């Protein structure tokens, strides 16, 4: 990657009477940043930003978010347009290479990915080591990390060919692993990939086909699954992507880095929110109970939050939530399901988006608000939701990992701290304590 951010001005900071010049750096879109890289060396002062609300950790050319406008772009293309008009492998190519593929490039890419969909047979013993009721995210974390033992050479990350191989392998194998997690959890035999199917179609078959029955992929469901993959593919420097970059900054094996990202995604403030959002909607149950939950969300003495609402970056509706709302209607229509939870969700969205508390704080539905409803209609149990998110986000993670390694300004990530613990003191032997 060629560094493209440029200095557009200078900011001054005065610390204890002494002034320091700091370059103001600007990319192609979005807010400028103050370059503080030399500040500690020059002044002996750190910047302090827990939660990174005002800190850019890197330059990137992959994804752009305008949180105020509710806009999400992959390599300059609107995500809503990509979700409606392209396929997940086309978008994967775009994220990795920076441009949409032409027909020939697409054909080669698709064939490369499908040639890597199988898992090494010994991966199966990792699954056999899990309790049968293990959370599928636990299985995914462990087995994706285990791939590092099978493809150790892919860690020679300075060589383009080895890096490409790691990128293709992980994108190809993650649906097979995710489907295996599901099959293990429900106690069914694993279904091998079938490479004449699409990325999403193959995944659905690996999840829902059983040896005793014929299985045909429903094109409406396949399209919905593919859209869900596209919508979740990348989201700039979120917690899990930053985790992948931080792990990768030390030169760690790429599959181990993806395992680190998977672990970070698991939490309910990040990828786990779709599970939490669906549980909340089910708990509300009927439209007449919504005011009670809105009141709880506003009550500062109650830790309850409206799950699927609010976002660190979006202060308008998350554009992914709009596509997800449409997809939910398409899927429920196709399957002929009338789901009371959808009614609760739509009413809750209507009420909350007009309430002063939510409007003032820019709290609108995020991608997870509707995704739980659609994923459960597709037949996935709630504990698989985050696995599906991880599957899709793996393409973004590996694209970001690749970009980081190509960045000439890349260094090992090493934040500092403001220490507030005990000062130097003498050791006291145990019998004197």
Q: Using the rule CB under 6 A, which residue among 311, 388, 394, 400 binds ligand CMC? A: 311
Terminal C-alpha separation, the chain: 57
Residue 326 class from Cβ within 10 Å (0-12 exposed, 13-18 middle, 19+ buried)? middle
Q: Which CB atom, from 297 or from 387, has the smaller least distance to ligand CMC?
A: 297
d(CA 253, CA 136): 23
Among 97, 312, 315, 329, binds ligand CMC (CB under 6 A): 312
User: Could you tell me which stretch among 5-13, 304-312, 408-416, 419-427 binds ligand CMC (CB under 6 A)?
Assistant: 304-312
Which residue's CB is nearer to ligand CMC, number 184 or number 389? 389
> Which residues have CB under 8 Å from 332's CB, separation 6+?
338, 339, 342, 373, 374, 377
- CA angle in degrees (0–180, nearest 5) for 374-342-379: 30
**Judging by DSSP bridges, how do beta strands 6-15 and 33-34 pair with one another?**
unpaired
Rounded to 5°, the CA angle 273-276-280 comes to 135
Residue 325 within binding range of ligand CMC, rule CB under 6 A: no
Contact 232, 56 (CB under 8 A): no
C-beta of 82 vs 307, nearer to ligand CMC: 307
Can residue 380 be called a binding residue for ligand CMC (CB under 6 A)? Answer: no
The closest alpha carbon to 326, from 63, 83, 61, belongs to 83
Report if residue 315 touches ligand CMC, rule: CB under 6 A.
Answer: no
- Does residue 163 bind ligand CMC (CB under 6 A)? no
- Residue 63 DSSP label: E
- Judge whether 368 counts as a catalytic residue: yes
Catalytic residue check, 97: no
- Reduce the secondary structure of 358-420 to three states and give it as a string: HHHCCCCECCHHHHHHHHHHHCCCHHHHHHHHHHHHHHHHHHHHHHHHHCCCCCCCCCCCCCC
Residue ranges in 115-192 assigned as alpha helix (H)? 123-128, 136-150, 160-186
Applying CB under 6 A, the span of 70-78, 101-109, 167-175, 307-315 interacting with ligand CMC comes to 307-315
Residue 217 to residue 209: CA distance in whole angstroms: 9
For residues 193 and 319, which CB has a smaller minimum distance to ligand CMC in the complex?
A: 319
CB nearer to ligand CMC: pick between 260 and 273: 273
Looking only at Cα atoms, what is the longest distance across the chain? 78
Tell me how many residues contact ligand CMC (CB under 6 A): 20
308 makes contact with ligand CMC (CB under 6 A): yes
Query: Residue 292 corresponds to which tokens in the numbers above?
Result: 């009670």
Which of the residues 168, 311, 318, 383 is marked catalytic?
311
Among 23, 70, 310, 319, interactor with ligand CMC by CB under 6 A = 310
Residue from the set 73, 207, 252, 297 that interacts with ligand CMC by CB under 6 A: 297
User: By CB under 6 A, is residue 269 in contact with ligand CMC?
Assistant: yes
Residue 230: C-alpha distances to residues 1, 191, 221, 377 (Å) = 23, 24, 14, 19
| Those residues with Cβ within 8 angstroms of residue 354's Cβ, 6 or more apart along the chain or in another chain | none
Rounded to a whole number of angstroms, the minimum distance from the CB of residue 156 to ligand CMC is 32
Please identify, using beta-carbon distances, which residue of 206 and 367 lies nearer to ligand CMC.
Answer: 367
Contact with ligand CMC (CB under 6 A) among 92, 307, 348, 390: 307
* 305 is a site residue for ligand CMC (CB under 6 A): yes
- Can you list the alpha helix ranges (DSSP code H) found in 72-159? 79-85, 88-97, 103-114, 123-128, 136-150
How far apart are CB 375 and ligand CMC at their closest, in Å?
A: 14
Instruction: Provide the minimum distance between the beta carbon of 345 and ligand CMC in the complex, in angstroms, as a whole number.
Output: 13
φ/ψ of 160, rounded to 5, equals -55, -40
Contact string 210-249 vs ligand CMC (x = CB under 6 A): -------------------------x--x-----------
Distance CA 339, CA 61 (A): 40
Q: How far is the CB of 273 from ligand CMC (least distance, A)?
A: 3
- Per-residue interface string for the shown chain with ligand CMC, residues 350-379, x marking contact by CB under 6 A: -----------x-x--xxx-----------
Residue nearest to ligand CMC (CB): 310
Q: How far is the CB of 308 from ligand CMC (least distance, A)?
A: 5
For ligand CMC, the binding residue among 306, 342, 375, 405 (CB under 6 A) is 306
- Which of 291, 333 has the CB closer to ligand CMC? 291
Name the residues that contact ligand CMC, by CB under 6 A.
Answer: 235, 238, 269-271, 273, 297, 305-312, 361, 363, 366-368
Catalytic residues: 311, 368
């Amino acid at each position: 990657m060629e560094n493209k951010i440029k200095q557009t001005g200078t900011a001054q900071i005065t610390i204890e009477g002494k002034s320091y010049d700091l370059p103001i750096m600007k990319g192609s879109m979005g807010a400028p940043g103050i370059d503080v890289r030399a500040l500690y060396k020059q002044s002996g002062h750190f910047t302090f930003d827990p939660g990174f609300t005002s800190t850019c950790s890197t330059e990137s050319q992959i994804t752009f978010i305008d949180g105020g406008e509710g806009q999400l772009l992959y390599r300059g293309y609107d995500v809503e347009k990509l979700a409606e008009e392209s396929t997940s492998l086309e978008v994967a190519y775009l994220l990795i290479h920076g441009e949409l593929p032409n027909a020939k490039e697409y054909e080669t890419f698709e064939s490369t990915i499908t040639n890597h969909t199988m898992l090494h047979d010994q991966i199966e013993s990792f699954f056999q080591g899990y309790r049968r009721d293990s959370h599928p995210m636990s299985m995914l974390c462990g087995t994706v990390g285990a791939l590092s033992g099978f493809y150790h050479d892919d860690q020679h990350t300075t060589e383009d060919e080895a890096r490409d191989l790691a990128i293709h392998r992980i994108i190809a194998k993650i649906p097979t692993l995710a489907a295996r997690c599901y099959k293990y959890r429900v106690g069914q035999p694993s279904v091998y990939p079938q490479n004449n199917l699409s990325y999403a179609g193959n995944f659905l078959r690996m999840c829902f086909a059983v040896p005793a029955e014929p299985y045909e992929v429903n094109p409406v469901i396949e399209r919905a699954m593919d859209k869900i993959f596209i919508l979740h593919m990348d989201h700039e420097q979120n917690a899990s992507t930053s985790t992948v970059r931080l792990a990768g900054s030390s030169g760690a094996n790429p599959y181990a880095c993806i395992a680190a990202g998977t672990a970070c995604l698991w939490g309910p403030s990040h990828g786990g929110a779709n599970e939490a959002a669906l549980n909340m909607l089910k708990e509300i149950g009927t439209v007449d109970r919504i005011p009670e939950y809105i009141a709880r969300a506003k009550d500062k003495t109650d830790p309850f939050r409206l799950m699927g609402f609010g976002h660190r970056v979006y202060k308008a509706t998350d554009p992914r939530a709009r596509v997800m709302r449409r997809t939910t209607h398409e899927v429920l229509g196709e399957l002929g399901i009338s789901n009371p939870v959808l009614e609760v969700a739509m009413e809750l969205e209507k009420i909350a988006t007009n309430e002063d508390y939510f409007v003032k704080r820019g709290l609108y539905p995020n991608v997870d608000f509707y995704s739980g409803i659609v994923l459960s209609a597709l037949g996935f149990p709630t504990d698989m939701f985050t696995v599906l998110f991880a599957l899709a986000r793996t393409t973004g993670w590996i694209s970001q990992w690749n970009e980081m390694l190509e960045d000439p300004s890349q260094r090992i990530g090493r934040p500092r701290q403001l220490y507030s613990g005990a000062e130097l003191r003498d050791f006291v032997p145990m019998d004197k304590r």
